[in-house]
């Protein structure tokens, strides 16, 4: 191999710039192949693969640098507040070891304990938080590894081989088909009707045709929209455009919308905490000064700089600790834990989450636009009816597995003449992309069903294809296929038959029937197809459609004497001869009707969008419970729905009732999603085809089928591993669960924040010693309880179907509802009042000395168990009275409650001096637990207080519709005069502004249509 490694960037630059002049300078395709020592007819030889990988690299990116647990721990110490707290602890230790007590002149016994305890507590808090973050990273890596590998066909040693994308090497001849995502940079060799979307790399959403003359540059990361081709690979891994872009863009994941909301809330709480910390430090120092003043020792105190510094450090330590407690770093952590946990569990429930934000967004979904085939139905297609020319009723075809299946098909075969049977089977076999591999039919399910129908009549499809040069004809020698078109709803193949060119067509029955002007009878006789005959066929089609059967019409045309003519550049539009109609059954999934009922209870509107005809679509929608007969529900065809685009009032009316969109194109799907989102709806969309990608991107949450194309998967947010509509409903349930779990944590932490900060402040002011009743090390333990441990306990509860018994949370709803505020303020008030009572009178109830270590221990102990008990309250966000319901779904919650309680007992009884505590006796523990259990009945009482939440606004037409109406009302001569010139002026401004926006949107839509393959519709 003579090609130098330094020349690789030349290929990359050529791809980036699409530089045809540089391609000519390099000698063109053949010269570049020769330079890489590749024979285009033979491909890469296995013996050179290892050498190519060593020279040009592998087709994968180097792994991102692993973040270790130590890195996460060190990251925690970058927090300036943690640094200040540790500095204060170190200074406290130094002073306690070096400066004697001002009253006794002796070193303070045990003075080292508090500083050491603070340092150890900071280390524990940092380690626990780091462990949670590290666990989250591991879960994300595990989920990323769950993505199934992609396979591609390459030419190796003169034969086609199927390999994984990362096994491709530079010089490989790679075969690409519609739906693939190009894994390498390459040059176009040959193909058929190839169109690609390079928006993933360039950002321009255009359909770009590729050929050897105008644009032979195949960019890695681009999506194959139509056709198929072969390319020669000239760049892999970090040396291809997609790889280079990804390496440059590697960075931390963007925050989800809920994380952004929580960061704002965190900033607000932090500012409040810093204010209270400053006030507390100032109050403590002022209290000390006042105490010294009362003892006539203020001047001596202020002039003893070492003592003042020690007091100042002690006060600042309390203040900083309050900031550490007040800063709710657990809020973002709870989102992270909830999302990471939910992503793992959703994978078990057949939802592979690609984008984190999709988890929480599904919690507010109000609309689901679902495909029919494979999502609502089982995608197990079989031909169950057949109609031939002259039939008065459809012929019954028993499904495979039925004892009469082969016998009935043999009767059907015997009833057809040789010519008719040959045309039927040839059309089904040659005008198809499905095939038999490893003993199984693989490919499009509809085409597999038709090939199974042919095989049932004792026909060997692979032998017939071999006889007619099916594989060879892929290079456009004898056959040219025009893939299924969403616009024409049909698939066409041109086949050279000696001196003639035969056109085979299969597609939507009522549309292909419009092209038919002849019919071939079972005996082989061809006659004119009259309008009356067509009407009879239409009635048969409608009858089968009402039975939820999907019908396809098979037709052909012979172009006499044109066997050597060039293939048509566009899809042929010949007049056709009717052969037969095949009706295909795809049974409804058993779980779909119940899932649709759950959606309705959950306030989620389900709409079915399908390419089937209207009657079939309605029949399926009725079975699923999507379309209710004799109601306001509407079913429309795409061509009629498309006419509403731009007519906002009519569109708004229709969207309120539309349940079925039949004979739709992907453009119709985009219009539907765009219109729904303009009304303020949160829209989920399912799709599996390449042409579904724009709608999947446009939706709030896009669901791709596991069996769908790579382009559809790449445009989606969540991949349905089982292609099942019920899994979409499961995702909505998980989304609601995530939002609920995070709000539970907010409810808990807000209560602790308010109580801890105010108690520290009020206690400092009221204490005779001028000290906070909660010591810094105790506050740090509280911080650990209410941040890391509470986040784990409250953010990991599994969902129940009961979550679907209420309407979705609308996107603009506040993080803290009115019910939550009532619970937060009610519980905080009790805790503050109880702690103040304990501080001033509690020593009498417990029969201990006021201000003694035991007195302070009791205050701390009661406060901790108040939080433990209040976690049960925090699990309920609405009017639920049974606070213990559903504990079985939260094993981690129970474990953490038990663990927290055990550690607290150990802190008080065993390591009291470390925590600033002394052991309590059994009677004192009983009293502590009695006082701490009050949040349970208080929580029940608070939930009995009626609270009215704000009603979310109903989706409407865009605001400027109402503005137009208001403007007309202002001009209405029957209304009182003087409605307000200012109001009219403002309305005019709004109208002008919104007209500009509308015009811009219309322009964008128009450009999309002009650039779309569906412009011909």
Cβ atoms within 10 Å, residue 796 = 21
Chain-centre distance of CA 789, in angstroms? Answer: 27
- Report the SS3 class of residue 8: helix
DSSP label at residue 887? G
Token pair belonging to 879: 């009017």
Cβ(799)–Cβ(895) below 8 Å: no
Interacting residues of 871 by C-beta distance below 8 A, sequence separation 6+: 748, 790, 793, 794, 893, 897
- Report the SS3 class of residue 518: strand
C-alpha angle 864-843-753 in degrees, rounded to nearest 5: 30
| Phi, psi dihedrals of residue 657, rounded to the nearest 5° | -125, -15
Element (H, E) at 374: none
Token pair belonging to 7: 């020349």
Element (H, E) at 300: helix 298-303
Cβ(367)–Cβ(681) below 8 Å: yes
CA distances from residue 501 to 227, 479, 537, 572, 729 in whole angstroms, order as listed: 21, 9, 27, 12, 50
Element (H, E) at 83: helix 80-98
Cβ(731)–Cβ(362) below 8 Å: yes
Cβ atoms within 10 Å, residue 298 = 15
Sign of the CA dihedral with 46 first, then 50, 53, and 54 last:
negative
Cβ(550)–Cβ(385) below 8 Å: no
Among residues 96, 74, 73, 127, the alpha carbon closest in space to that of 780 is found at: 127
**Burial grade of 613 (CB within 10 A; 0-12, 13-18, 19 or more):** buried
- Report the SS3 class of residue 617: helix
Q: Rounded distance, CA 723 to CA 936, Å? A: 44
**Burial grade of 69 (CB within 10 A; 0-12, 13-18, 19 or more):** middle
Among residues 947, 950, 669, 788, the alpha carbon closest in space to that of 131 is found at: 788
- Report the SS3 class of residue 885: coil
Among residues 75, 91, 193, 69, the alpha carbon closest in space to that of 136 is found at: 69
Longest pairwise C-alpha distance within the chain: 125
Write out the catalytic residue numbers. Answer: 371
Q: Rounded distance, CA 84 to CA 888, Å? A: 42
DSSP label at residue 79? -
């Amino acid at each position: 191999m003579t090609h130098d490694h330094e020349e690789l960037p030349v290929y990359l630059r050529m791809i980036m710039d699409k530089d045809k002049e540089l391609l000519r300078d390099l000698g063109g395709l053949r010269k570049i192949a020769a330079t890489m020592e590749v024979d285009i007819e033979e491909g890469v030889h296995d013996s050179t693969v290892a050498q190519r990988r060593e020279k040009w690299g592998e087709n994968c990116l180097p792994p991102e640098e692993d973040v270790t647990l130590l890195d996460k721990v060190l990251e925690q110490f970058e927090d300036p507040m943690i640094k200040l707290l540790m500095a204060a602890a170190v200074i406290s230790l130094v002073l306690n070891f070096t400066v004697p007590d001002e009253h006794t002149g002796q070193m303070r016994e045990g003075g080292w304990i508090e500083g050491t305890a603070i340092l150890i507590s900071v280390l524990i808090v940092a380690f626990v938080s780091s462990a949670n973050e590290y666990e989250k990273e591991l879960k994300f890596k595990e989920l990323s590894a769950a993505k199934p590998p992609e396979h591609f066909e390459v030419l190796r040693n003169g034969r086609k081989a199927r390999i994984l994308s990362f096994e491709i090497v530079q010089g490989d001849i790679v075969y690409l088909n519609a739906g693939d995502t190009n894994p390498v940079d390459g040059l176009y060799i040959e193909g058929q009707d190839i169109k690609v979307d390079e928006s993933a790399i360039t950002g321009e959403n255009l359909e770009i045709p590729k050929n050897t003359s105008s644009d032979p540059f195949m960019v890695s990361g681009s999506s194959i929209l139509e056709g198929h081709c072969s390319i020669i690979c000239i760049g892999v891994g970090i040396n291809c455009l997609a790889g280079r872009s990804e390496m440059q863009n590697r960075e931390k994941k963007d925050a989800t919308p809920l994380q952004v909301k929580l960061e704002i809330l965190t900033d607000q709480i932090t500012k409040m905490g810093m204010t209270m910390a400053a006030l507390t430090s100032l109050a403590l120092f002022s209290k000390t000064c006042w105490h010294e003043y009362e003892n006539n020792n203020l001047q001596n105190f202020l002039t003893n700089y070492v003592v003042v510094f020690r007091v100042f450090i002690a006060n600042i330590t309390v203040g900083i600790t309050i900031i550490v407690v007040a800063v709710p770093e657990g809020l973002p952590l709870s989102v992270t834990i909830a999302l990471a946990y939910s992503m793992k569990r959703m994978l078990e429930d057949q939802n592979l989450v690609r984008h984190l934000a999709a988890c929480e967004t599904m919690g507010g979904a109000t609309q689901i636009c679902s495909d029919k085939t494979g999502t609502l139905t089982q995608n197990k297609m079989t031909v169950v009816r057949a109609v031939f020319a002259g039939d008065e009723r459809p012929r019954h075809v028993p499904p495979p597995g039925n004892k009469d299946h082969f016998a009935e098909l043999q009767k059907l075969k015997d009833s057809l003449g040789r010519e008719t049977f040959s045309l039927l089977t040839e059309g089904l076999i040659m005008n198809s992309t499905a095939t038999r591999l490893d003993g199984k039919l693989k490919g499009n399910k509809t085409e597999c069903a038709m090939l199974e129908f042919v095989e049932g009549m004792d026909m060997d499809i692979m032998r017939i294809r071999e006889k007619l040069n099916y594989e060879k004809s892929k290079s456009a020698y004898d056959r040219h296929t025009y893939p299924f078109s969403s616009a024409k709803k049909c698939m066409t193949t041109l086949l050279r038959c000696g001196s003639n060119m035969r056109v085979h067509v299969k597609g939507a029955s009522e549309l292909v029937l419009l092209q038919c002007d002849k019919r071939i009878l079972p005996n082989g006789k061809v006659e004119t197809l009259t309008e009356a005959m067509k009407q009879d066929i239409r009635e048969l089609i409608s009858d089968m459609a009402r039975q939820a059967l999907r019908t396809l019409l098979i037709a052909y045309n012979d172009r006499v004497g044109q066997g050597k003519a060039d293939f048509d550049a566009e899809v042929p539009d010949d007049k056709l001869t009717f052969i037969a109609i095949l009706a295909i059954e795809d049974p409804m999934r058993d779980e779909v009707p119940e899932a649709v009922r759950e959606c309705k209870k959950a306030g989620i509107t389900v709409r079915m969008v399908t390419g089937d005809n209207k009657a079939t679509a309605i029949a399926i929608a009725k079975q699923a419970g999507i379309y209710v007969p004799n109601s306001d529900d509407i079913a429309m065809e795409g061509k009629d729905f498309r006419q509403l685009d731009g007519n906002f009032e009519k569109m708004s009316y229709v969207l309120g009732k539309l349940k079925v969109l039949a004979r739709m194109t992907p453009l119709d799907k985009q219009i539907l999603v765009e219109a729904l989102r303009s009304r303020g709806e949160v829209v989920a969309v399912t799709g599996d085809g390449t042409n579904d990608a724009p709608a999947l991107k446009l939706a709030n949450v896009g669901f791709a089928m596991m069996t769908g194309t790579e382009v559809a998967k790449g445009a989606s947010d969540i991949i349905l591993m089982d292609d099942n509509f019920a899994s979409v409903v499961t995702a909505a349930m998980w989304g609601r669960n995530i939002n609920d779990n995070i709000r539970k944590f907010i409810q808990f932490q807000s209560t602790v924040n308010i109580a801890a900060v105010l108690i520290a402040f009020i206690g400092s002011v009221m204490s005779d010693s001028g000290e906070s009743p909660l010591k810094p090390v105790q506050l740090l333990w509280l911080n650990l309880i209410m941040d890391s441990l509470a986040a784990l306990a409250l953010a990991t509860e599994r969902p129940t179907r009961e979550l679907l018994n209420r309407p979705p949370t609308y996107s603009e709803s506040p993080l803290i509802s009115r019910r939550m505020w009532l619970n937060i303020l009610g519980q905080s008030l009790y805790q503050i009042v109880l702690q103040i009572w304990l501080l001033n009178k509690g020593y009498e109830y417990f029969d201990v000395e006021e201000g003694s270590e035991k007195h302070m221990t009791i205050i701390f102990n009661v406060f901790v168990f108040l939080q433990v008990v209040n976690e049960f309250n925090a699990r309920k966000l609405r009017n639920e009275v049974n606070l213990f319901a559903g504990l079985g779904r939260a094993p981690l919650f129970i474990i953490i409650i038990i663990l927290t309680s055990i550690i607290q007992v150990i802190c008080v009884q065993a390591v009291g001096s470390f925590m600033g505590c002394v052991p309590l006796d059994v009677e004192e523990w009983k009293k502590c637990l009695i006082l701490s259990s009050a949040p349970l009945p208080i929580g029940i009482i608070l939930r009995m207080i009626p609270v009215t939440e704000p009603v979310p606004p109903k989706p409407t037409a865009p605001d400027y519709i109402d503005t137009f109406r208001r403007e007309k009302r202002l001009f209405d001569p029957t209304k009182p005069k003087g409605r307000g010139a200012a109001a009219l002026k403002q309305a005019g401004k709004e109208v002008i502004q919104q007209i500009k926006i509308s015009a811009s949107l219309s322009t964008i839509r128009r450009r999309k249509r002009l650039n779309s393959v569906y412009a011909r519709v």
